Chain A
């Protein structure tokens, strides 16, 4: 043996292996450990799914009670046929995990404030915010409530067992590629994780409030200006439940506290604001038309939920067929059941209710230890929740959050001296009262609606939907159509919870919930359709409860106008409506812009853009330049009108909405804010419009110069990979639409699932989502629906029957048994 050369060669070999086993930092980012990552038998090559993969398999799991057959069609949609219902949920969990495990786990880590475990300390701020909001607390309460119900308990247990059956079968090489890239491994699934996922949806859909911004706005502006900037209602409102509808007699009478004016409405303290916010446009469209408006004579139901656009997609298409029900639609990887879809009798969908169900109370503690808080004149003991946040590569972070009892509810004191998130907290304490902390079992709605046969079944299912409140739309083969502005909503007095409230006594607490039989609904209305697009659910004048402000109204107006005018409707007409790019806000604004602009003051370049705008048809179609010009103009118009008044405002403050400026100017061409208060002369609407257009033209020249004047290029819609890895994302998609269009496709947000169901005797169903059934970027099924979605095309949704087992659409079959 040649000792010295042997030692040197061995040492070099070991050093090389060690280096290749380490995640090196290259160019500021951590690279995967290259040895393992590149190994063709372990690393990412194993995720390069052969184009002709056969997904067929025979699988045995002792926890199954019967046989389950799964047929995959050519879009990789599974059609599950189970002898036992809970076996179907087991298989759903198994398939969710097989195709979407990384996303499922990431979403629950985000929900539970555990991102730091994966990303290191750059996730800490997010984790603290989510834990302090009480996300885990809420999920634990939901789990307790759901597990009280033996049906749901068995459903969740089966689902979880299915997810874990897949996780247990994983090897190093079969891990999803993201685990290999980031360097971690999945942990077992639990029922709590499903609840965390559902609370994440609650966060996304019901944690949007502007209480702090509004508090600052109320403090900064006088009452008159405030009401002009933040009106409760717009003239154009066309509510979900039409004006003039009679409501059930009021049973809960919320009373404003006597000192509401002195310590609440007229309190001019400035507050803090949140750094994390769900997208304001998390909304949706849904409608159902009755048979007397359709060509076939059967109802048609349509739904397109607008959410953040991501890959892998939020949705997973599925058919679940058991002896008790047969449902098809989209499911959430992370939860059992079909969320939006149809069964053999009816179709069902949701849009977001969007009411304010998250309020803040200022808490007075006896001292900095936070161990006692003042409530109704005496001090009470605080409960502490100690959160240990694990951080990759660093020591754990221990966070202690005080919980105080406000009425019957223990609420987390989300903001305190230890948690400002770099913001000015004025050293105050704010507890959060969020409806999602209350016990509820939303899974029960999905369980029941999947098997609903008629309107009564739908009503019985809907009342389980508490938070996030949803406009539940329904249509049935017997001809019924209906909508409920469903949710368990706090009954508020006028103005309650618009701002941060005093939390030292019970007078400002929520005084009750609106009873379920007072939830506004429509059942087979005379106009022949029901619809919702996140607008205000009812007319304030006649509905007894306070509904707040900030509802987007324009999509709803377009939908209702169009549906009113339509007859002999076909599913194809509905697809055209869902993908319609008409901007009614622009159509309302354009005439007064054209009428008021001082055309003579425009130079050649400004004139060029103005002419394009003048000839624009107010549609945000691909190739239109007017849409880009309008958007850039309006941003400048908004600035010209309000920037002077806001010049000295606190940084975190509410800004008026598009609809406010538009409708105030339409109502009053001498709108107070048009005047620039920094100049001696009085500016007019014409001055502001001309000035704004000139400013816009400078920006437009730049956009034009870069070749991006066409609306779709300017908007640049993209579908980001959840870890924002560009090669795994789809960028610069040539699609029209915008946030006031029925086709509400914005830059990274929009129709996450489009569905049209015609309830003819043989159901005709169509749908598409911007993604693909596989979450693996190395699969051809990863993003194969995207181009169809961009083109506004739909797939035929195939409700497979037991007789179709030899259909040529089937590409694989999985057998599950004991």
Chain B
């Protein structure tokens, strides 16, 4: 239960903070949720990782899909040197997930 609630809270808080703050506010969200809802460090990491993986992956996929992946085709060639929109979505998801996961790990050490 904690696990699921943490995932949802981390994702929601990240989304809300990013409306007003820089992208790295996802770390604040993950840190805060991990600190407030105690879980084992490893579990905290996985929680936030999953939350941001789906938040950033989902958002970017949703945006790209309604753009018919027009821009993702171009930017993947620019950044990844290959024409692969889904890889760009994956890269986005993993970067968000890693940052949030590590921040949650730090947050989890606040309690114990």
Report A's interface with B, CB cutoff 8 A: 1-3, 5-6, 9-10, 12-13, 16-17, 20-21, 31-32, 34-36, 38-52, 172, 177, 181, 725-728, 777-780
A52 CA / B63 CA spacing, docked (Å): 12
Q: Give the distance to chain A from B36, nearest Cβ to Cβ, in Å.
A: 14
A478 CA / B90 CA spacing, docked (Å): 64
Report B's interface with A, CB cutoff 8 A: 15, 18-19, 22-24, 27, 31, 41, 56, 59-60, 63-64, 66-68, 70-75, 77-79, 91-92, 95-96, 98-99, 102-103, 105-106, 109-112
Residues of B within 8 A of A48 (CB): 63-64, 66-67, 70-72
CB of B79 within 8 A of CB of A31, answer: yes
CB of A42 within 8 A of CB of B22, answer: yes
CB of B67 within 8 A of CB of A49, answer: yes
Residues of B within 8 A of A42 (CB): 18, 22-23
Interface centre among A12, A13, A726 (most CB of B within 10 A): A13
CB of A16 within 8 A of CB of B98, answer: yes
Can you name 12 extra interface pairs (CB under 8 A) apart from A1-B110, A9-B105, A13-B31? A9-B106, A13-B106, A35-B23, A39-B18, A48-B64, A48-B71, A50-B63, A181-B78, A728-B74, A728-B78, A778-B74, A780-B70
23 A-B pairs (CB sep. < 8 Å): A1-B112, A2-B109, A9-B102, A9-B106, A13-B27, A34-B95, A38-B56, A38-B91, A39-B92, A40-B63, A41-B18, A41-B19, A42-B18, A42-B22, A42-B23, A45-B60, A45-B64, A45-B71, A48-B67, A725-B78, A778-B70, A778-B74, A779-B70
Which residue of the partner chain, among B23, B64, B74, B103, contacts A43 with CB atoms under 8 Å?
B23
A12 CA / B103 CA spacing, docked (Å): 9
Q: What are the nearest 10 A-B pairs in CB distance?
A: A778-B71, A39-B23, A6-B109, A40-B59, A48-B67, A9-B106, A727-B74, A48-B71, A727-B77, A50-B66
Q: Give the distance to chain B from A577, nearest Cβ to Cβ, in Å.
A: 35
Q: Please give me the residue from chain A that is nearest to B19 by CB atom.
A: A41
A780 CA / B74 CA spacing, docked (Å): 12
Dominant secondary structure at the B interface: helix
Residues of B within 8 A of A726 (CB): 77
Residues of A within 8 A of B60 (CB): 38, 40, 45
Residues of A within 8 A of B64 (CB): 45, 48
CB of A36 within 8 A of CB of B22, answer: yes
Which residue of the partner chain, among A36, A40, A52, contacts B66 with CB atoms under 8 Å?
A52
- Indicate whether A13 sits within 8 Å of B92 (C-beta atoms), given known contacts A1-B110, A42-B18, A726-B77: no
Which residue of the partner chain, among A17, A39, A44, contacts B71 with CB atoms under 8 Å?
A44
Q: Give the distance to chain A from B19, nearest Cβ to Cβ, in Å.
A: 7
CB of A35 within 8 A of CB of B74, answer: no
CB of A20 within 8 A of CB of B109, answer: no
Q: Please give me the residue from chain A that is nearest to B23 by CB atom.
A: A39
A47 CA / B99 CA spacing, docked (Å): 23
CB of B99 within 8 A of CB of A51, answer: no
Q: Please give me the residue from chain B that is nearest to A5 by CB atom.
A: B109
A50 CA / B92 CA spacing, docked (Å): 19
CB of B68 within 8 A of CB of A51, answer: yes
CB of A45 within 8 A of CB of B92, answer: yes
- Indicate whether A35 sits within 8 Å of B110 (C-beta atoms), given known contacts A9-B102, A778-B71: no
A21 CA / B103 CA spacing, docked (Å): 16
Q: Please give me the residue from chain B that is nearest to A17 by CB atom.
A: B24
A48 CA / B91 CA spacing, docked (Å): 17
CB of B41 within 8 A of CB of A5, answer: yes
CB of B59 within 8 A of CB of A45, answer: yes
A10 CA / B35 CA spacing, docked (Å): 13
Q: Please give me the residue from chain B that is nearest to A37 by CB atom.
A: B79
Q: Please give me the residue from chain A that is nearest to B110 by CB atom.
A: A1
Residues of A within 8 A of B70 (CB): 48, 51, 778-780
CB of A1 within 8 A of CB of B109, answer: yes
Residues of A within 8 A of B106 (CB): 6, 9-10, 13
Q: Give the distance to chain B from A705, nearest Cβ to Cβ, in Å.
A: 27
CB of B112 within 8 A of CB of A2, answer: yes
A181 CA / B24 CA spacing, docked (Å): 18
Residues of B within 8 A of A10 (CB): 106
Residues of B within 8 A of A779 (CB): 70
Residues of B within 8 A of A16 (CB): 98-99, 102
CB of A13 within 8 A of CB of B23, answer: no
A5 CA / B103 CA spacing, docked (Å): 12
